[in-house]
Amino acid sequence: MSQQRPRASRPSLPSASNGTLGAVVAVVALLLGFLILRDVQADGGSATITTYPPAETLPGGEPVDPNVTTTTVFSINGFKIQVANASGIAGSAGEMTLNLQKAGYVVQPAANVAAGTAKRSKSGVFYLAGCEANAQNVVDVLGGGADLAAMPSPIPTETGSIGEACVLILLGTDLANKPLQGIVGGGEGQAATTTVAPTTTAPSE
Q: Is residue 43 part of a domain?
A: no
DSSP annotation string for 12-70: PPPPPPHHHHHHHHHHHHHHHHHHHHHHHHHTTS-------PPPPB-TTSPBPPTTS-E
In terms of pLDDT, which residue wins out, 110 or 68? Answer: 110
Separation CA 69–CA 184 (nearest Å): 19
Give me the mean pLDDT over the 74-101 stretch: 94
Q: Is residue 171 part of a domain?
A: yes
- pLDDT more than 70, % of the chain: 57
pLDDT tens-digit series, residues 172-181: 999 999 999 8
In terms of pLDDT, which residue wins out, 147 or 7? Answer: 147
Q: Is residue 15 part of a domain?
A: no
Q: Is residue 11 part of a domain?
A: no
Give me the mean pLDDT over the 15-32 stretch: 67
Q: Is residue 123 part of a domain?
A: yes
Q: How many domains does the chain have?
A: 1
Q: Is the pLDDT of residue 137 over 70?
A: yes
The whole domain housing 138 covers: 78-178+191-196
**What's the pLDDT at 56?**
52
Q: Is the pLDDT of residue 19 over 70?
A: no
pLDDT tens-digit series, residues 141-160: 999 999 999 999 999 999 99
Separation CA 34–CA 30 (nearest Å): 6
pTM, to two decimals: 0.58
CATH number at residue 165: 3.30.70.2390
Q: Which three-class secondary structure state does DSSP give residue 140?
A: helix
Q: Over the chain, what is the mean pLDDT?
A: 76
**What's the pLDDT at 108?**
98
Q: Is residue 151 part of a domain?
A: yes
In terms of pLDDT, which residue wins out, 150 or 195? Answer: 150
Separation CA 18–CA 166 (nearest Å): 83
**What's the pLDDT at 45?**
39
